[in-house]
Amino acid sequence: MRKLNFILLFTVLSYSWAIADEGMWLPSLIYKLNIADMQEKGLELSAEEIYSINHSSLKDAIVALDRGSCTAEVVSKDGLLLTNHHCAFGEIQMHSSVDHDYLKDGFWAMSREEELPNPGKTVTFLVSVEDVTSKVLADVTEDMSYDERRRIIRRVSSELERKAKGNSHYETYVRSFLKSNQYFLFVVETFKDVRLVGAPPQALGKFGGDTDNWMWPRHTNDFAMFRVYSGPDGKPAEYSKDNIPVQPKHFLPVSIKGVEKGDFAMIMGYPGRTNRYETSFGVINTMNATNNVRIEVRKELLDIWGAYMKTSQMARIQYADKYAGSSNYYKYSIGQNKGLTNLNVIAKKQEIEKEFTEWVNTNNKRKDKYSEALSMIEESFKNADLEKARTYLSESMLRGPEIFRFANRASSLTDLLEEPEKNSEKIKKISESIKERMKAHFKDYNAATDQKVVASLLKIYSENNDVQYHPEFFTGIQKKYKGNFEKYASKLFDNSVFASEEKLNAFLEKPSLKVLEKDMALNAASDIYGKYRELTVKVGENRNIRSEGERLFVEGLMEMNPDKTFYPDANSTMRLTYGKVDDYEPRDGVIYNYYTTVKGYLEKEIPGDSEFDVPARMKELLIDEDYRQYADKDGTLRACFITNNDITGGNSGSPVINSKGELIGVAFDGNWEAMSGDIAFETELQRCINVDIRFVLWVIDVYAGATHLIEEMEIVK
């Protein structure tokens, strides 16, 4: 009996119907699923005040940055946005130079005119959400094949999107939920003029660096500020000096009253991907074919980049954003594998699958419908070497070396140059496009470093994958260079026009088919992308089988547990999670407090260290305890706090909101002990790490002297 109770408990935890503070809920559904529970836990708002399509509500103050890579919140009537420092890291790096090192020194626009534009950056507001499951599946029958079902769903979804858009400037899309058992139609509005307003120095915004990443206790001042602009008519527009700040339907008041253990905490944002309904077969594949490969390849890549970054200030600026982006999920993969192992997730999933199978086999109708679900999923993972090869290729040749990606941009010129006179206009257009991208590319590029990356990562790929998965040019490396990837890389960089700005400029002035046909980087890129497409098609065949099995498995789970409320996995759509401010016990005899203070910032100081250096002005202010109105009632300045909210990647920058709908913090990380959380939520251990909004305001006001930004907000004391 004891064993059965444990299994049932883990079923609740692992297959994602709601208990405790688990759950990434669609805000449009909380009025019927969650509002009573939320109010019982302390919420003072109504469901209508959180999500409404007719009136101003919290959802109107929450935006997706860059289609959901991060989240931001509106904190003023003039479109001022607050997000994480690491969500603005690319823009800060892009605007930095040796003369204006905004990574090192921070950046603050002291007037609207000083705000920096960021071409390509977007801010998306949610307009409405509608459950269209019955419409999408109206013509779907049980006896349809996977391809037939998919065609009908695509056709109906496209028609729903078209009708919802009408003649408006809105974007519309239908997304699937609960492994294609549910469908929702989203209407959104995307703005394209987003300007950098402020960011603290990296020593504050990324304090602790890779060492503290995913760790608690934290003392990181992880925030940055943008402003979103519209055209004079209030609609989205490309950057123009004539644009005006967006006037949002709602913005968040900012509370400096502080937080205490047990306080209600709500987070709204755009979590990227979770896979809480993953089977044991999928967990094994994630650990071996994804995480282990990523760990191996990125360690080598980060070592090479890191060594170069230590050579000069310019080198550090050039590779800062690349390094940060790669290292984040390198460490994540290590932590996730450790968490999945420590929590024995595979065995627990297997127990649940056994229970599901027993339930199916007690009824002939169930057997007819669900008996093949798990075997389909298992079968789809049979060719583990194929999945692993695709990940190795992605990590070692698409994500690592930069020369192949850049050379591939010129691949379309090859066919056009067969008839240069006939295609002269197209050739000119593509050449100009490459020139436009070239300046930004070579600004943050070091050919000698990339040459080392090519040699090292191609060798790793060669040693870990069967010959059948090798790109065609590997044969030439074996024959001509005796398998010596360093010699191959040296020859490639000596001869390719894509290795330097000067060579590429000269080529684009007089594009030549003969030059392209002999270019080693372009030829390698062609083979790499060709092999990747080949592997993707083969992996896709397996994934179609897997998708059908997973749909049936989740449908069966819901039928098996009719009294449970299931929530869908994250998929970069707006979600709400709720819980409380709380401490936790990571291991026997250790209890982590729910907050940190800036005292720990000084305690961690390592002068001159790239991760733990404390700027002189920061140190002086902290020693003087010049905290002003941002001090807690005990006189300290709190740095960060933790809650038991359910979050994942994409939630970076999400607002932490109190029971009254006021901003109390900015979410920026999960904790190391619960890195398995994207697959199996761990109630006792999972925590969300947030920077206290008072620490944010203190840096803006006292440290940076950007008091005009504080005055723009609605501060609640």
Which tokens belong to 331?
């460490």
| DSSP secondary structure of 440-489 | HHHHT--HHHHHHHHHHHHHHHHHHS-GGGS-THHHHHHHHSTT-HHHHH
Phi and psi at residue 24, to the nearest 5°: -110, 95
Is 28 annotated as catalytic?
no
pLDDT tens for 159-215 read: 999 999 999 999 999 999 999 999 999 999 999 999 999 999 999 999 999 999 999
Q: What distance in Å separates the CA atoms of residue 173 and residue 166, rounded to the nearest whole number? A: 13
CB atoms within 10 A of CB 411: 14
* pLDDT, position 452: 98
* pLDDT, position 85: 98
Rounded mean pLDDT, 544-573: 95
**Model confidence at 561: pLDDT above 60:** yes
Cis ω for the linkage preceding 217 (within 30 of 0): yes
Which tokens belong to 370?
């669900």
**Model confidence at 277: pLDDT above 90:** yes
Out of 380, 652, 654, 676, which one is annotated catalytic?
652
pLDDT band at 15 (very low <50, low <70, confident <90, very high): low
Closest to 239 (Cα-Cα) out of 247, 230, 248 = 230
**Model confidence at 393: pLDDT above 50:** yes
| SS3 state at 611 | coil
Which tokens belong to 622?
């902290």
* pLDDT, position 6: 36
Closest to 20 (Cα-Cα) out of 466, 595, 643 = 643
Strand runs (DSSP E) across 105-192, as ranges?
107-108, 116-117, 123-131, 171-177, 182-191
**Model confidence at 340: pLDDT above 50:** yes
**Model confidence at 9: pLDDT above 70:** no
pLDDT tens for 132-146 read: 999 999 999 999 999
Give the domains, in start order, of the chain with CATH numbers: 2-122+192-276+569-716 (2.40.10.120), 127-190 (no CATH), 280-545 (no CATH)
Closest to 189 (Cα-Cα) out of 173, 171, 174, 175 = 171
Rounded mean pLDDT, 334-350: 95
* pLDDT, position 688: 97
Closest to 220 (Cα-Cα) out of 212, 228, 230, 232 = 212
Enumerate the β-bridge partners of residue 688: 643, 670
Out of 21, 101, 222, 678, which one is annotated catalytic?
222
pLDDT tens for 17-75 read: 444 478 999 999 999 999 999 999 999 999 999 999 999 999 999 999 999 999 999 99
Which tokens belong to 132?
């269209």
Which tokens belong to 283?
């967990």
Mean confidence (pLDDT) of the chain? 95
* pLDDT, position 398: 97
* pLDDT, position 8: 38
pLDDT band at 13 (very low <50, low <70, confident <90, very high): very low
Out of 86, 176, 321, 527, which one is annotated catalytic?
86
Is 326 annotated as catalytic?
no
Is 222 annotated as catalytic?
yes
Per residue in 188-216, is it b (16+ CB within 10 Å) or e — as a string? bbebbbbbbbbbbbbbbbbbbbbebbbbb
pLDDT tens for 614-673 read: 999 999 999 999 999 999 999 999 999 999 999 999 999 999 999 999 999 999 999 999
| DSSP secondary structure of 190-251 | EE-EEEEEEE--HHHHTTTHHHHTT-SS------EEEEEEE-TTSS-----TT-EE---S--
Q: What distance in Å separates the CA atoms of residue 285 and residue 543, rounded to the nearest whole number? A: 13
Closest to 178 (Cα-Cα) out of 470, 554, 668 = 554
**Model confidence at 10: pLDDT above 50:** no
Q: What distance in Å separates the CA atoms of residue 181 and residue 161, rounded to the nearest whole number? A: 19
Q: How many angstroms separate the first and last alpha carbons of the chain?
A: 53
Q: What distance in Å separates the CA atoms of residue 142 and residue 338, rounded to the nearest whole number? A: 40
Q: What distance in Å separates the CA atoms of residue 699 and residue 692, rounded to the nearest whole number? A: 11
* pLDDT, position 683: 87
Enumerate the β-bridge partners of residue 668: none
Helix axes of 473-480 and 520-560: crossing angle, nearest 10 degrees: 130
